[in-house]
Amino acid sequence: MISVEGVAIDTRHWIGGRRVASDRTFADISPIDESFLGDIAAGTAAEVDAAVAAAREAFPAWAALSAPERGAILRRVADGIDERREDLARVETRDNGSLLRSHRRGVMPRVAMNFRFFADYAEKLAHPDMEIRGHRERVTYDPAGVTAIITPWNAPLMLATWRIGPALAAGNTVVLKPPEWAPLTASLLADIAHEAGLPAGVFNVVQGIGAEAGAALSKHPGINRLSFTGSVPTAGVIAAAAAPTIVPLSFELGGKSPLLVFDDCDLDLAVDLAVEQFDNAGQVCLGAFRILVQESIAAEFQARVVEKARGLVQGDPRDEKTDVSALVSRAHLDRVSGFVDRALADGARAILGGAAPEKGLYYPPTILADAKPGSEILTEEVFGPVLTFQTFADEDEGVRMANDTRFGLAATLVTGSPEKAERVSARLNAGTVWVNCFFVRDLGAPFGGNGKSGIGREGGTYSFDFYCDVKNTVFSPNGWKESSHG
């Protein structure tokens, strides 16, 4: 047991409704000041085996409950999250360095919503019967079994519950492997779920290093679904491990998304959207870090973005005035710094920032111009507070540049023309396109990426298409006995 921001946290796994220790541990370090938070139980194949076994044992009874019965429990979990919102916000801020104000106002309310929304959705989930040559076809959504969920560190609790919510609402049981760089709120969620009456074994948490606990979970023959959020290279390793078991996969992976700014746009709005990409120190997969601006307004737009970005306050994320916090770890700081250093050596020019901090993990907001077409800084995901500026002459060139990426997670465009918005959005290769806005999405809408940005879609019915075995039952009009009553 450790105390973080005055909150007691059990650092053992949660398996089968009880706490389980491991022989080994790993250190959890806060990015705020690189201080030691505690030793966390490090799971291996043994703990994964135990968690999957517990989930499989709990599955029949949980799946047999009706959607309203499961929903009642999941809504109590949501209530528990609301009751502990401040604890969760403070712990996650300390653990991964994200802004406390964002956790309080947006992230933790969304965590609770992930349970309520999918509990409600499961109760309404239905498909109209179909008819062919007098035969009736009925589509139903059957629980699939045990869901393995592996989540990242940039929004650990929100991104975990975005999968846990629909998986449990569908009638599945869950084994969660939280990120080793930010594991603490997953442990608190286990406590909340237990207090809400979630039966033992329905939700399990195995902490550990990805190459050990994550690898064991990915290849486990006892799982029926696997959802992963993270990098493309890690997804390749997971897919290879999962291939022999033919388990269905849902991957949300990286991005190199464009912000396409046309000369007929609301310039104030465009500037605000560009600077918004520094949110969470750029550690956002959906971020539009490639700024593409039409030549006729490029000079003014660039100057205004730099001026506004200079006003961002960087510092301790627990301070309400802070806009940009630290990167999650020393290793990640070195990675981000390496991208920028190589870009500068290759001829790019820093018009803001561009140098690693002398101490701490607070990489400054950085904007690079004049990068060579096709260079690493324009094609690879940095996952830090680094934007690039490029210009385009006309609509066709802008769309071509926006689509010049192996990723396809999101795209944002800013224009004052509804007709242009329709034309351009239709041509953009992205799972989500925002027009004159950013980061707006109903939980019922599909979410996922094209290309190297992922496999599949989740959200609303799309989530249940993945977390369920969708069954079609065909009833003939013939063969019935008149005396039959059952």
Q: In terms of Cα–Cα distance, which of 34, 99, 93, 106 is closest to 323? A: 99
CB 416 within 8 A of CB 266: yes
- Residue 402 pLDDT exceeds 90: yes
Predicted confidence (pLDDT) per residue in 165-211, tens digit: 999 999 999 999 999 999 999 999 999 999 999 999 999 999 999 99
Q: What are phi and psi of 267, to 5 degrees?
A: -65, -35
Bridge pairing between strands 410-414 and 258-261: parallel
Domain covering 258-435 in this structure, CATH number: 3.40.309.10
Predicted confidence at residue 46, as pLDDT, reads: 97
Q: How high is the pLDDT of residue 165?
A: 98
Active site residue 265: no
Averaged pLDDT score across all residues of the chain: 97
- Percent share of the chain, pLDDT over 70: 99
Q: Where are the domains of the chain?
A: 2-253+453-472, 258-435
Which residue of the set 212, 285, 381, 458 is catalytic? 285
pLDDT tens, residue by residue, 317-328: 999 999 999 999
Residue 193 burial by Cβ neighbours in a 10 Å radius (0-12, 13-18, 19+): buried
Beta bridge partners of 15: 18
Q: What is the pTM of this model?
A: 0.96
Strands (E), 331-385: 349-352, 366-369
Q: Do residues 261 and 275 make contact, with C-beta atoms less than 8 angstroms apart?
A: no
- Residues with Cβ within 8 Å of 349's Cβ and at least 6 positions away in sequence, in order, are 368, 369, 370
pLDDT tens for residues 421-433? 999 999 999 999 9
Q: Does residue 486 have a pLDDT over 80?
A: no
Per-residue tokens: 484: 């039959």
Would you state the pLDDT for residue 485? Answer: 56
* pLDDT number for residue 22: 96
The verdict on whether 468 is a catalytic residue reads no
* Local confidence band at 482 (pLDDT 50, 70, 90 cut-offs): confident
Q: Which entry of 5, 47, 92, 252 is annotated as an active-site residue? A: 252
Q: What is the mean pLDDT of residues 362-372?
A: 98
**What's the whole-number mean pLDDT along residues 53-61?**
98
Decide the pairing of beta strands 203-205 and 258-261.
unpaired
Q: What is the mean pLDDT of residues 266-285?
A: 97
3-state secondary structure of 486: coil
| For residue 484, pLDDT beyond 60 | no
What CATH number does the domain located at 2-253+453-472 have?
A: 3.40.605.10
Closest to 167 measured CA to CA, from 139, 141, 185, 200: 141
Is residue 192 within 8 Å of residue 75, measured between CB atoms? Answer: no
